[in-house]
Amino acid sequence: MPSLLELKLRANQKVEQLGLPGEHHEDWLYTQLENISPEIPTAPARPGNHDGADVYLVNGHLVRGELMTLEHMPPTVISKILSLYEREAYDGFSSWNLSQCDTVQVVTAAGTMRLHHHVTTGRHAAHPRLAIIPPARSTTTLYLRLTAEPGESLTNLHLLLIAENNTKLNLVLEQDLAVTASSVVTLHAIAEKDARIEVTDLQLSGKVTRLTFLGELTGAGAHLALHGLLLGYDARHSDSTASIRHLSSHTTSKETYYSILNNASSSAFTGHIYVERNAQQVDAQQLNRSLLLGDAARAFSRPQLEINADDVKCSHGASVGRLDPTALFYLRSRGISQAEARQILIEAFAHEILAGIADLDIRKSVESNVKFHLQDVAHG
């Protein structure tokens, strides 16, 4: 098994040889990160206000709270994490992250935790790398906020989630950046036997935000859910590219993404469901809905199924539309103004995603942030 240092050197060589993905890569066809290259300096360590989070990181460095680092983990855990890093397909941004990260920070505790990663102003990139491995047969909920100050910065985050047997792992990921900052999140989630992983991806603000998601169901009874809300206004762009792989029989998955777009904003959704040969009794569902509020707004949707087994139930669907005029007329007939009626319908659309957040305190925080940004989306 190669060491972390060896993997970092390999990753650096790949980045030098292949560079970062662009429009010539199919998965990045609709998402361009202008002026972003591996030559951008790594963001320096800085102090920061922890903002009430249990764990607070600035520019990839731990400022408040406690996290384990990979070198202090048991050998079996180190080997498991490094083997997963070694077999990850080349993505560009994940390799750049690996080549630049100082260490791998590991969350091993069960319960509820709020994490906040912040990037300071400037033209630089932060490369935090986190591994979430709660104890077997536990329940863990994480609320991870990504923020950035004004400036052409990049948050290049890599997340590894491992839910071992009979573990429940819930992650709420919120990208809420200044309008000139960008973020790319690479998330690799593995659900083992009878484990459940629920991920809520909220892309609220920033010049460009993206989630590249790889989910693997490796044991019978495993369940994986990925829900997302992408908000767009001005010329901002958001992207979710997800691949969910059913590698064992008797596994289930559900992927639901909603976009709300105004002005010249855009979103891209690519959802790929893969069912391994002999992975029977699989139930996989996928849905993408986009609400366009402006004539120049654009939504790209590419749902995909790749099924190599016979006894499966898989479905996918996509729709793009505008506010329902009948619903608007109904609200107006009850004395509600045009602006208020639009806001009610837009918030109701978003609520279908937010309602899936089980932790009520976290949901309340998220709803407040989403409602704030929906004011910009609704009014353009």
**How many other C-beta atoms can be found within 10 angstroms of the C-beta atom of residue 133?**
22
Q: DSSP 3-state assignment of 365?
A: helix
Please give the order of strands across the beta sheet that includes 312-321: 61-64, 55-58, 111-119, 139-148, 168-176, 196-205, 223-232, 252-261, 282-292, 312-321
User: pLDDT (tens digit, 9 = 90+) per residue, 337-348?
Assistant: 999 999 999 999
What angle, rounded to 10 degrees, do the helices at 338-354 and 325-333 form?
120
Task: Give the pLDDT band (50/70/90) at residue 220.
Answer: very high
Q: Are strands 168-176 and 196-205 parallel, antiparallel or unpaired?
A: parallel
- Cβ–Cβ under 8 Å, residues 217 and 224: yes
Q: What is the mean pLDDT of residues 352-357?
A: 96
Q: What is the pLDDT of residue 25?
A: 86
In the block, residue with structure tokens 């060896």: 6
Distance CA 323, CA 297 (A): 14
- Cβ–Cβ under 8 Å, residues 184 and 207: no
In the block, residue with structure tokens 């809905």: 289
At residue 199, does pLDDT exceed 80?
Answer: yes
Q: What is the mean pLDDT of residues 314-333?
A: 94
User: pLDDT (tens digit, 9 = 90+) per residue, 225-269?
Assistant: 999 999 999 999 999 999 999 999 999 999 999 999 999 999 999
Q: What is the pLDDT of residue 290?
A: 98
Structure tokens at 285: 């569902």
Question: Taking the model in full, what pTM does it have?
Answer: 0.96
Distance CA 377, CA 232 (A): 6
At residue 50, does pLDDT exceed 80?
Answer: no
Across 7-16, 25-34, 301-310, least confident range: 25-34
Q: What is the pLDDT of residue 233?
A: 93
Distance CA 310, CA 327 (A): 42
Distance CA 260, CA 298 (A): 10
Please list the alpha-helical segments (H only) found in the chain.
4-18, 75-87, 93-100, 325-333, 338-354, 360-379
Q: What is the pLDDT of residue 262?
A: 96
How many residues are recorded in the chain? 380
Q: What is the pLDDT of residue 201?
A: 98
At residue 198, does pLDDT exceed 90?
Answer: yes
- Mean pLDDT computed over every residue of the chain: 95
User: pLDDT (tens digit, 9 = 90+) per residue, 102-149?
Assistant: 899 999 999 999 999 999 999 999 999 999 999 999 999 999 999 999
Q: What is the pLDDT of residue 380?
A: 66
CA distances from residue 82 to 56, 98, 321 in whole angstroms, order as listed: 25, 11, 44
Choice between 47 and 181, residue whose per-residue pLDDT is larger? 181
Q: Where are the domains positioned within the chain?
A: 4-321
